[in-house]
Structure 1
Amino acid sequence: MTKELVLYTNPQSRGRIARWMLEEVGVPYSTEILEYGGSMKSPEYLAINPMGKVPAIRHGDQVVTEGAAICAYLAETFPEAGLAPRPEERASYYRWLFFVAGPMEAAITDLKVFGVEPEPEKQMMAGYGSYAAVVDNLSHWFNTNAYVTGERFTAADVYVGAQVNWGISFGTLEKRPELIDYAARVADRDAFRRATEMDEALVKEKA
């Protein structure tokens, strides 16, 4: 029997990453929409994710939280989708998946949300060093590579692509040509369009 697959999300959240990945995988799933400060903090949902945040997925009796982890889990669980890394792609796949989920998000949050950045003499103590270093590093990769692993779209591009797309759209990431081009490439996918249409429809329902 096929295990039940449930997405816990809010259309105005990082849950969009998980929905995009589910649409890429192409397997049936149901959706539970949670409200900030309400059902997201309910005892029922806290039993699934004690952080009280989305996204999360439940696959049978397995629970996965965090956008990058969800992308990796679904790629490995449903290999027929062809989104998991090949042996020769694993290095760049994991490198950039964790770089964007860790150093890049931390650098963007610190500088663009909280307005702080480590002083030069203290940057060695921060995992990301500086915002400029993070953007330079990512931009350098996409100067010579179409996707995270080179020339093939993988699950890592769902996560990295979503973060780059949002960063450019909301002004938290420098609008460099190579990043703009990458964001456009990953957004030009049927699964991305389907997922976006679903979430935008939910946003309109709430308006």
Structure 2
Amino acid sequence: MTKSLRLHYAPDNASLIVRLALEELSVAYDTALVDRRAAAHTSDAYRAINPAGKIPPLETPNGPIFETAAILLWLCDTYKGLAPAPDAPDRAAFLSWLFYLSNTMHATLRMTFYPGQYITDAHHDASKTGSRAALNTSLALVEDLAGQGHPWINAATPSALDLYICAMLRWMALYPKGDTDWFTLTDWPNLAAMAAKQDARASTAALCAAEGMDQNPFSMPRPPTPPEGSAL
């Protein structure tokens, strides 16, 4: 039977955040591999689903949704979990941090992975230096937030914020390959605790099986060996 949700994904891409959310919410879904080596995300067929040509989009009964934060917010509100309720007093703070992760931290991280999409080759080193300084600022902010005792971040069960942050912690430790010495997870003890908690979740076990990741993919990340597709 065809499920009502379809996640277009590539291994170890932003789609893993949405996969974790779907698993945490116990929502049935199908997946469709986006072949990055064949640049499938630039095809006309793919852009009909996500005009921006990025990963992931999620096809829903209401049409496709793209942008990771938008997908997470739709899932949180549709399936009632991973976020404060729309009328909860702490909803405003949750939304502020969700979009900070998306618009600032993740966007800056992308610049370190794909500098050629943003700046000429001659300025790559300067861009990397600036981006990593900005990422350290972001890490300090979310480290402090994760230690404040809110029920919507770094609590007993994860929120959408935890899922988003854990993915970025993984990527900072792994990519670009051979150029990650600037980041050490143990420098950020609240975030390290968050990563360890997420490693133990059933959603993470499902992610590892689907995308070829080893155990402890957030606290002790290693490059994946996916059964299909490529993280590149």
Same-fold call, TM > 0.5? yes
Q: Which is richer in helix?
A: 1
Deviation at 1:64, TM superposition (A): 0.9
Map of 1:30-179 to 2, 5 A cutoff? 30-36=30-36, 37-79=38-80, 82-86=81-85, 87-110=88-111, 114-116=124-126, 130-145=134-149, 148-149=152-153, 151=155, 153-170=158-175, 171=180, 173-175=183-185, 176=187, 177-179=189-191
Q: CA RMSD in A?
A: 3.2
TM-score (norm. length: structure 2): 0.71
Deviation at 1:129, TM superposition (A): 8.3
Deviation at 1:7, TM superposition (A): 0.8
- Is residue 10–residue 229 contact of structure 2 (8 Å, CA) maintained in 1? no
The residue identity in structure 2 corresponding to 1:46 is R
Q: Which residue of 1 aligns with 2:192?
A: 180
The residue identity in structure 2 corresponding to 1:83 is L
Residues matched between the structures, number: 198
- Is residue 118–residue 130 contact of structure 1 (8 Å, CA) maintained in 2? no
1:204 is aligned to 2:216: no
Deviates further, 12-21 or 144-153: 144-153
Q: How far, CA to CA, are the matches of 1:68 and 1:109 in structure 2?
A: 15
Evaluate the alpha carbon distance shift between residue 137 and residue 174 of structure 1 in structure 2; reply closer, same or farther with a 3 A threshold: farther
- Is residue 71–residue 156 contact of structure 1 (8 Å, CA) maintained in 2? no
Please give the secondary structure, in 1, of the residue aligned with 2:137: helix
Please give the secondary structure, in 2, of the residue aligned with 1:7: strand
Q: How far, CA to CA, are the matches of 1:49 and 1:178 in structure 2?
A: 35
- Is residue 147–residue 154 contact of structure 2 (8 Å, CA) maintained in 1? no
Q: How far, CA to CA, are the matches of 2:110 and 2:4 in structure 1?
A: 35
Q: How far, CA to CA, are the matches of 2:206 and 2:51 in structure 1?
A: 30
Evaluate the alpha carbon distance shift between residue 105 and residue 38 of structure 1 in structure 2; reply closer, same or farther with a 3 A threshold: closer
Q: How far, CA to CA, are the matches of 2:102 and 2:159 in structure 1?
A: 16
Structure 1 alignment gaps of length 5 or more:
none
- Is residue 8–residue 31 contact of structure 2 (8 Å, CA) maintained in 1? yes
